[in-house]
Amino acid sequence: MSTKTEDEVTNLFVASAHTLLMIFTDRGQVYPLKVWEVPKSGISGRGKAIINLIPIDQGEAIRSIVPVADLDDENKWLFFATRNGTVKRTVLSLFKNIRTSGIRAIVLVGGDDLVEVKLAEPGDHIMLVTAKGQSIIFGVERVRSMGRATRGVIGIKFRDEDRVVDMDVVKLEGLPDESTEDEDADAEADAEASAVATDTEVEVADDAEEGDDGGEADVEDHTPTVVLVTEQGYGKRTPLNMFRVQNRAGLGLRALPYSDRNGFLIAMCQVRSSDDLMVVTDGGTIIRTPVEQIRAYSRSAKGVRIIRMGEDETVASIYRVTASDDDDELLPESIAAEPDASGEPSESADDGAPEAATDAEADAT
């Protein structure tokens, strides 16, 4: 599809005509929209402004779109995360009768706003990350099921001034479960790093735990990892087995140390080596790079450059492209490399992926 200036593709999923799209906003509202109500468009069409499809208020921003086929499933929940660290789990069936004008999905207080909503099932685990690089993983059942018009409970606590920037439902394979242990021990192990990273090497945080030298991590093709990307275009992959399951409402573990070089953490997602990663900047630049070209490091490493940007440009978001979606027809036209007048692929269309690989090679230690 084509996009207007300063617009970007944020969601891509396969759905039938009768699939319900649950559209959640930063104010905690949810609006229903059937797929068949979305106007059909050609592959190069720009689509229709969503304000013409659902009655969102002026200044209200969409935070998440959850496609749902069956609202009667009692074994699925909607899991919410807010900027101030509150989380909530609500059974999906409570949203069977959503008014077209929208209903309240979560009660927000104290200037809080909704960050993300995901579908979760029994046995799933939730991962929260903050702007200063803290993370916490806990079982979805650690949060009791609540009604719609409720506030939720504490998911993660902060040191100083911090905020939740992303949440994902992660699939764990043999991850240590230490959720009954004292969270104070985790807080001591992950005291804030004071080292300042440079542009030419992967640095290790001063708070590295025993046995964690900040070096490169061993990753097999099937190993589940998380990608973390900062506003200044730096990031890394870290295997999930380097984290551990904890109790909710703790300070969590350091996932990516904060530094002036990196800036704040912007986003996180679970990936595999066969996936690709799309990185979008606030200046409209979009790159796509294979995940396997992003080096994997331990939790205490500060990462390598993922994308080069303009002086006043910062990363806005990242998106995972799975192997099953690896088709140029599913990508925005601005991403697919097209030949210029000389017959060679244009520089802007393929900018970023080779750079990311080169930087990873140069920055790795």
Average pLDDT over residues 3-30: 79
pLDDT at 39: 86
Structural class in CATH, domain 20-363: mainly beta
Contact between 224 and 170 under an 8 Å Cβ cutoff? The reply is yes
User: Given the DSSP bridges, would you call strands 234-239 and 304-305 parallel, antiparallel or unpaired?
Assistant: antiparallel
SS (H, E, C) 182-201: CHHHHHHHCCCCCCCCCCCC
pLDDT digits (tens, 9 = 90+) for 91-111: 999 999 899 999 999 999 989
Which pLDDT score is estimated for 152?
Answer: 96
What is the pLDDT at residue 74? 87
C-alpha 129, offset from chain centre: 9
User: Rounded CA gap, 243 and 135, in Å?
Assistant: 9
How high is the pLDDT of residue 356? 47
The residue behind tokens 């959850």 is: 66
**pLDDT computed for residue 224 by the predictor:** 86
Q: What is the pTM of this model?
A: 0.77
Q: Would the pLDDT of 337 be above 70?
A: no
Lowest mean pLDDT among 105-109, 122-126, 285-289, 321-325: 321-325
State residue 265's pLDDT score: 97
Predicted confidence (pLDDT) at residue 342 exceeds the cutoff of 50: no
> When comparing pLDDT for 341 and 7, which is higher?
7
pLDDT tens, position by position, 237-262: 999 989 999 999 999 999 999 999 99
Query: Which residues lie closer than 8 Å to 231 by C-beta, 6 or more apart?
Result: 262, 263, 264, 265, 266, 314, 315
- List the chain domain ranges: 20-363
Each residue's pLDDT tens digit, 113-144: 999 999 999 999 999 999 999 999 999 999 99
Return phi, psi of residue 240, to 5°: -65, -25
> For residue 360, is pLDDT > 50?
no
